[in-house]
Amino acid sequence: MDNKVKEISEKIDDAIGKLNKKDFTINFFVVDTKGVPNGNTRYIYEMAKELIDNDYNCFMLYQQEKETIQEKQNIKGKDVIVDKEVEVPFIGVRDWMGDEFADIPHGSIGSETIKVSTSDFLIIPELFANVMNQTKKLPCKRIILCQNLNFITEFMSLGTSWANFGLLDVITTTETQAEEIKDLFPYMKTKVINPSIPNYFRNNSDPKKIVISTVIKDASLLKKLVNQFYWKYPQYSWVTFMDLRNLSRESFANTFRESAITVWMDDETYFGHAPVEAIKSGSIVIGKIPDVIPEWMYSDDKETISTNGLWFDNFKDVHKLIAQAIKLWLDDEIPEIITDEMVKMEDRYKVEDKQIQLLDVIETYIAERITELKDIKNKIEKK
């Protein structure tokens, strides 16, 4: 065995040793939410926090944003305005996720102090094709995290695929999405970690208020919904709509717990945290069926749509459904077929279940990485 091979073999042994001792780092690429709540980013931070709580080292990587400012400078005795490029401070998630998440170590991906080694992992969200490309020469194991398949085409140039970036592993959030990924990229190895809903999304014995929470990203659609409802049903013009956008998650939970009804619309989601959170909080959800139907929206037979909410396809139907739900709620006659299915949701997407799934997936990746490194070592030594 020549020295070069020996050196590589030793490095591989070192990496395997670190993997066995949990002496490695799982890096997560995140985008700066600038204090604005974002479900996809939250999912990543929750993963990192859970792993830290289980003695893994995690690090949050972000792309340093820069902006151009104008600055007055004295050049040859004259005051002139010049453009200057400055770094935009990273704000993160402190305002809406709290210190325990914001205090996870962070660093810019371009920083010289940040090193990744063979035993490390880098988790890259599906949106960041540029990061997938920029990091393809890194020695670490890179894994895509795909929460929403709709995002993958956003920054991916035509003709390229994940394989072009040397990426063959993907973590996703639902079986449905895993199947779709397989359909697009048959070579990808998929693993599923279901989202979890924190335990504070729960019903309590306090009676609810006749208030309608709304979770609708598009502000103009929300305005249209409320205005049209009041025009069509003036007898319910006293019913208050509460816009939950940009609230902290705890505020979400409190509002869901108090609201009799929640209206939700998000065509592009693959999961839909908000309606699950609302149902678990005992709020009757009136929701538009997304383009891809989330798994929790199906009945036990996995074919028909569940009655755990009032679902519609056409926006025109939403006002009538809201009016019906208000009447039923006021009359205390919400059908059991709905309330029973809502109760069933209480046991789904528990934090404890996600913890088990997450640790299982990470341990599998570690084992696979060890096998992969051993194979490389064998191949090198045989040569």
Partner 1 sequence: MEELTIIIPVHEYNETIEKYLQRAIESVEAQTEKPSNIIIVGPKEVINAQRQQLDTTSIGFELITNEGQTDYCSQINLAVKYVITKYFSILEFDDYYQKNWLKNVNIYTKFKPDFSIFLPIAKFVNVKDEEVCLANEILWSLAFANELGVIDPEMLQSYGDFSVPGGVIRTDDFIEIGGLKPSIKLSFWYEFLLRASNNGVKAFVIPKTGYIHTIERKDSLMDQLSAMSEKETSFWMELAKKEYYFVNERADKAKFVEKKKLTEIIK
Closest approach of Cβ 326 to partner 1, in Å? 10
d(CA 196, CA 45): 12
Cα distance between residue 245 and residue 255, in whole Å: 12
210 binds partner 1 (CB under 8 A): yes
Q: Give Cβ neighbours of residue 25 (< 8 Å, ≥ 6 apart).
A: 57, 58, 59, 116, 120, 121
Nearest distance in Å: CB 280, partner 1: 21
Interface positions, 332-351, toward partner 1 (CB under 8 A): 332
For residue 204, state whether it binds partner 1 (rule: CB under 8 A): no
* Contact flags string 166-185 toward partner 1, x per CB under 8 A: --------------------
The Cβ-side half-sphere exposure at 54, using a 13 Å CA radius, reads: 15
User: Residues 237, 301, 313, 347: which binds partner 1 (CB under 8 A)?
Assistant: 237
Q: How far from the centroid of its chain's Cα atoms is residue 193's Cα?
A: 11
Residue-wise DSSP of 54-120:
TT-EEEEEEPPPEEEEEEEEEETTEEEEEEEEEEPPP-TTHHHH-HHHHTS-EEETT-TT----TT-
Angle of CA points 216, 218, 221, to nearest 5°: 85
- Minimum CB distance to partner 1 smaller for 148 or for 259: 259
Considering the complex, state which of residue 94 and residue 232 has its C-beta at the smaller distance from partner 1.
232
Is there binding between residue 331 and partner 1 (CB under 8 A)?
yes
Is residue 320 involved in binding partner 1 (CB under 8 A)?
Answer: no
For the chain, the first-to-last Cα distance in angstroms comes to 9
Give 330 or 351: the residue with its C-beta nearer to partner 1: 330
Please, which residues have CB within 8 angstroms of residue 237's CB and are 6 or more apart in sequence?
230
* Residue 345 phi, psi dihedral angles, 5° rounding: -70, -20
211 forms part of the interface with partner 1 (CB under 8 A)? yes
Kindly state whether residue 80 participates in binding partner 1, applying the rule CB under 8 A: no
Closest separation between CB of residue 229 and partner 1, Å? 14
Measured from the CB atom, is 133 or 254 closer to partner 1? Answer: 254
Q: Among 4, 99, 207, 304, which residue interacts with partner 1 (rule: CB under 8 A)? A: 207
Q: How many residues bind partner 1 (CB under 8 A)?
A: 14
What residues are paired with 212 via a beta bridge? 241, 261
> Shortest Cβ distance from residue 310 to partner 1 (Å)?
19
Report the interface residues with partner 1, using CB under 8 A. 206-207, 209-211, 235, 237-240, 260, 330-332
